[in-house]
Amino acid sequence: MKSKSDEILNFFERICAIPHTSGNEGELRKFLIDFFEEQGGFRSEVDGYGNLKVSRRNSSPDSKKIILQAHLDMVPQALDKDFDFYKQGIKTEIQGNKLKSVSGTTLGADNGIGVAAGVIALLDEELKNYDLTLIFTVEEEIGLNGAVNLSQEFLANADYLLNLDSEDWGELFVGCAGGVRTDSTIPIKRKKNENKFDYKITLSNLKGGHSGCDIHLPRANAIIEVLKFAKLCDLEIADIQGGTLDNAIPRECVIVGSSNYDINYFEQISAQFKSDFLKKFSEDYEMDLSIAPSEVRNELVWENSAQIIENLISVPNGVLKKSDELGVVVSSSNFAIINSDGDVLNVNSSQRSLYNSERDALQSKIAEHLKLISGVSVARSAYPAWEMKENSILSSQAQELYRQMFKQEATIKVIHAGLECGIFNGKNPQLEMLSFGPTIKSPHSPSEYLEIDSLKYFYDYLRQLIKKIA
């Protein structure tokens, strides 16, 4: 007989075969509806935004109502720029204790493994007499949009919600950061290129990662670092393209520009730059900085390149405030995407904080900073922090169970990533919530992997917790 963790992995493989990036969850949602229809005894409902609710047709009226919640979408990041997340599934393989993508992409364990665990729990014979409901949201990765637009009725009358979207086994999360996206446009004035040499500079092969969970790690932001190199070489920029998603630390950035310095000077600067870079960003030891003559003469470059570069490399970025008491990042910003388009420079960033007031203040600070180079900024997709609830019955019972099962204390934490729990709290303030999951390393990057051993502990704990609180 297969173990429950094997069943979860097998179901996750089926999820991986279906493209399901943000806004493209329809095929996966249909697969789940059809799957439960085949099982019989379940009711599937889809709200007006595309969120899915699955419940038993006949559930015990005497047990507490428990929601298991995860999101359907995944972050699309690939080493191969031609990989089509809209058409291609993810192929996986087991390497020792790691489940990884062999497609050179994000694995999608964030949050596909939570979806798979929820499905297996609803089918679990040991849990068939409990009042369980699955809620699978859409577009979590691009602003928690599914949660924001979730039908209020999906949460009605529930006692507990277990969010299966955390990534460090042994840690029970009782709060999370809120966030906001900032879209900025900066006008570009161009002038005739009078420099002698044209170059294409590419900084690539960085680790990247989740802009919440990984923001404290010694990993570089490709956009900021390549701009620093451009400054060292007195480069006047003609074009820049970097980053792909506002919730992923950018792994690559390309600048096309010109300078009066020859290639020998660039190579000298490059050697020192790489040495200093690796001392500061130890996890980006595979970084690649390539300098090549540009194939096309840049007729026009930015008139105020030096001013724009100086402003952008000094924009608030990374960890901006930490709490020693909570042992967590309080506030951060991620300079996520940059691209020049004619006479406009587009910049996208995301800000996070455990406190909504500090989130908003940081967003305003970014906007004011870019205003110095005539930037116009618009805030979007704001979502609230999930503030830790004192004297939570669910948290107390969860800690007690963990202690009984594993003979040690669970770590009670707030997380710097955004979880949908903050939004659910606004829709049902009486709902008690907890977030936990198996260990997933380097989410939002092609280095993502699931620690398989943690999956067994996670599911055993989930099953026993349901029994305890029901």
Residues 218 and 171 in one domain: no
Encode pLDDT of 409-438 as tens digits.
Answer: 999 999 998 899 999 988 998 899 999 999
Residue 413 sits in the same domain as residue 450: yes
pLDDT for position 298 = 77
Question: Are 360 and 394 found together in one domain?
Answer: no
- Residue 334: the pLDDT is 98
pLDDT recorded at residue 251: 96
pLDDT at 198: 95
Q: What is the pLDDT of residue 387?
A: 85
Question: In angstroms, rounded to a whole number, what is the distance separating the alpha carbons of residues 447 and 99?
Answer: 11
Q: Which residues, including other chains, have CB under 8 Å from residue 96's CB and lie 6 or more apart?
A: none
For residue 139, what pLDDT is reported? Answer: 97
Let me know whether 20 and 147 are in one domain: yes
The full DSSP string for 280-340 is: H-GGGTT-EEEEEE-SS---EEETTHHHHHHHHHTS--EEEEEETTTTEEEEEEEEEEEEE
What's the total number of domains in the chain? 2
Q: Is the peptide bond before 356 cis (omega within 30 degrees of 0)?
A: no
- Asked if 55 and 134 count as a contact pair (C-beta separation under 8 A), the reply is yes
Cβ-contact 252, 206 below 8 angstroms: yes
Q: Do 156 and 287 lie in a common domain? A: no
144 and 223 both lie in a single domain: no
Of 457, 378, 412, 462, nearest to 97 (Cα)? 457
Question: How high is the pLDDT of residue 255?
Answer: 97
Judgement on whether residues 369 and 390 belong to the same structural domain of the protein = no
Q: Is the same domain home to 54 and 168? A: yes
Range of the domain at 70: 4-176+386-469
Specify the CATH number for the domain of residue 57: 3.40.630.10
What is residue 81's predicted lDDT score, i.e. its pLDDT? 86
Predicted pLDDT at 433: 96
- Active site residues per annotation: 73, 140
Task: Give yes or no: residues 268 and 143 share one domain.
Answer: no
Parts of the chain with a pLDDT under 70: none
pLDDT of residue 192: 94
Are 146 and 157 within one domain? yes
Q: Identify whether the C-beta of residue 136 lies closer than 8 Å to the C-beta of residue 117.
A: no
Whether the Cβ atoms of residue 53 and residue 134 lie closer than 8 Å to each other? yes
Residue 292 belongs to domain with CATH number? 3.30.70.260
- Residue 2 is predicted with a pLDDT of 84
- Of 383, 400, 424, the domain-final residue: 383
CA dist., res. 377 & res. 370, Å (int): 8
Does one domain contain both 349 and 418? no
Is residue 54 within a helix (H) or strand (E), and if so which, with residue range? strand 52-56
Based on the domain organization, do 209 and 262 belong to the same domain? Answer: yes
Q: Of 354, 383, 412, at which residue does a domain stop? A: 383
Of 361, 383, 405, which marks where a domain is finished? 383
Per-residue model confidence (pLDDT) at position 63: 83
